[in-house]
A = this chain, B = another copy of it.
Amino acid sequence: MLRMETIQYNLPQNRIPLAWYNIVADLPKPMAPPLHPGTLKPLGPDDLAPLFPMSLIMQEVSTEREIEIPGEVRQVYAQWRPSPLFRARRLEQALDTPAHIYYKNEGVSPAGSHKPNTAVPQAFYNKQAGTKRLSTETGAGQWGSALAMACAFFGMECKVYMVRVSYDQKPYRRALMEVFGASVTASPSSETQTGRAILAAHPDSNGSLGIAISEAVEIAASDPHTKYALGSVLNHVMLHQTVIGLEAIEQMALAGDEPDVILACAGGGSNFAGLTMPYVGRNLKGQSHARIVAVEPAACPSLTKGQFTYDFGDTGHLTPLVKMHTLGSTFMPPGIHAGGLRYHGMAPLVSHVKDLGLIEATAVHQLDAFAAGIQFARAEGIVPAPESNHAIAGAIYEALEAKREGKPRTILFNLSGHGNFDMQSYIDFQAGKLQNYEYPAEEIAMALAGLPTVL
C-alpha cells in the first residue's frame, strides 16, 4: 500500500483561537489617528457611536495585544473553523518546483470567503447592544453574503445596498443573500437622500461602492435601531480576521514547516491582514523571518503606486479622513473582475506596517491572475475567487523562483474564497474577452492631486 502524503492539516474545534491578536500593541510606532472631516481633529469614540456599538468602537481604538473572542462567536466559528491548511502537492508537481506550497482555505466558510470571520462578531456585538437591523453595502457580494448569513444566525434584519451593476450582473449572489433573509436593494436607490439625488442627476447610474456606503450609512445614522457594518479597512475588521493567521501558525507547526514567504491578495486589506498580522508580530519578536507580501491588481495598485497620506474612505467624502496608501478617493478603478480589490485605498493598519517596512507589496495583471487560478483549479480542484487568483499568481511566481535557484522555499498563501459565484469571469477569460489594464497613471495623478491637505 502506498504511503499517504499529508495534504490537509486540520485542527479540532477546541483549537479555535481564544483571542484575536491586535498587532497595534506590538508596533514600533503608533498609527496616525483618523480625523473628523469637519474639524480635522482626531476622532473620538463618541463620533462613531451613531454607526457602531461601543464594544466595536473600543476594539477599533484598542491597544491591548489580545482581545478575547466571545464564546458565542467561537460557537458560530465552529461551523467552519479552524479552516483547513492544505499542502498543494499536486500544484508543486505541476510546477516541478522544490518549493513547498501551503494555503489556508477560507473558501470553506458557509458564505464562501473569509468575510464571515468579521461578519459574525459584528452581528454578535450588535445583537448584544440591542441593534435590530444592520445596514451595509456590497460590491462583488462576498461581504454582503457574509453579513446576511451572520444576521440570520443572530436573528437580526439585514439591509444590503448592492452596487447597481453587480445587482444586475450577479443575480445569484443577490439570491444567496435573499436565501439568508436579507433585503437587497440596488444602489443608488430611491430609499435615501443620497440615492435620490444621484438618481435625479443620473437616472441610469451604475452605482459605485462609494455611493452604496453613503446609502447604508445614511439609513443607519437616521434610525436608532439600525447600525452600520463595514467588511474591511477598519482596525476591528483586521482584528477579527487574525483567526486566520493564528490558526495557520499552529497548522504550519503541525506540518513541521516554517514559511519563508507569506502572500495574500489585498484590496481593502482584511484578508491580507488576517493571515499576515500574526506573522508580522512574530517577525517583530524575532520568532520568524518570513517575507510578507501583499499582492494587488496592477490596475488598482494602492500599496505599490499610491501615496501614504490622509484621504477619505469613500468617493462621496462622508467618512473620516484616514492615513493610508491611496490612489485618491475620486479615482475610479478599471473594471477588473476581482471586484473585492477595486478600492482606491488600503486599510490604515496595513498601510502603516507597509510604511514601517514590515511588509512588501507587488502587483499582478488580470490575465496572469486568471491563468494562475486555472492552473490551481486543475491541480487542486478548487476554483478560486478572482481576488484569490492574485495571491496564487504571487505564490506560483515564488515557486518558480525557487526552481530557478534550485533551492527549497516554503510558501504560504491565503485562499480568500471560492469562485463559485464568479464563473462569468472565467467564461470571459477562457473566451479571450478579458484584458490587462495599463497602469492608469494619469487618472491616479489627477486623483492624488485633488487630495485634501490636512496636516
Residues of A within 8 A of B (CB): 1-8, 10, 12-14, 18, 68, 70-72, 74-75, 78-80, 86, 90, 108-112, 116, 149, 152-153, 171-172, 175-176, 178-181, 374, 377-383, 420-421, 423-424, 426-427, 430
Contacts and interface: CB of A to CB of B under 8 A. Distances in A.
A2 B90 contact: no
A361 B349 CA distance: 57
A430 B182 CA distance: 12
Closest 6 CB pairs of A and B: A2-B71, A110-B381, A172-B423, A420-B420, A175-B423, A152-B378
A430 B178 contact: yes
A116 B421 CA distance: 20
Contact of A79 (B8, B71, B111): B8
B381 A90 contact: no
28 contacts: A1-B68, A1-B71, A2-B72, A2-B74, A3-B71, A4-B14, A4-B71, A5-B75, A7-B78, A8-B79, A10-B13, A79-B380, A80-B381, A90-B153, A110-B382, A116-B381, A172-B420, A172-B424, A172-B427, A175-B424, A175-B426, A179-B374, A179-B377, A179-B378, A179-B423, A180-B378, A420-B420, A420-B421
Contacts of A171: 423, 427
Given A4-B14, A4-B78, A427 B175 contact: yes
A176 B8 CA distance: 23
Contacts of A14: 4
Contacts of A3: 71
Nearest to A108: B108
Contacts of A108: 108
A4 B75 contact: yes
A75 B2 contact: yes
A116 B171 CA distance: 28
A433 B90 CA distance: 44
Contact of A8 (B13, B18, B111): B13
Given A171-B423, A179-B383, 15 more contacts: A1-B18, A2-B74, A3-B71, A5-B75, A8-B13, A8-B78, A10-B13, A110-B382, A175-B426, A176-B383, A176-B420, A178-B426, A178-B430, A179-B423, A420-B421
Contacts of A179: 374, 377-378, 383, 423, 426, 430
A45 to B, nearest CB: 26
Contacts of A111: 381
B7 A79 contact: yes
A71 to B, nearest CB: 3
Contacts of A70: 2
A87 to B, nearest CB: 10
A13 to B, nearest CB: 6
Given A3-B71, A71-B3, A78-B8, A180 B377 contact: yes
A93 to B, nearest CB: 11
A336 to B, nearest CB: 18
A12 B10 contact: yes
A74 B178 CA distance: 38
Contact of A74 (B4, B374, B420, B424): B4
B7 A10 contact: no
Nearest to A170: B423
Nearest to A7: B78
Contact of A423 (B10, B80, B86, B176): B176
Contact of A6 (B7, B10, B13, B153): B13
A5 B374 CA distance: 39
B427 A149 contact: no
Nearest to A73: B2
Nearest to A5: B75
A371 B44 CA distance: 47
Nearest to A384: B179
A243 to B, nearest CB: 15
Nearest to A173: B423
A6 B78 CA distance: 8
A72 B90 CA distance: 12
A184 to B, nearest CB: 11
Contacts of A382: 110
B153 A381 contact: yes
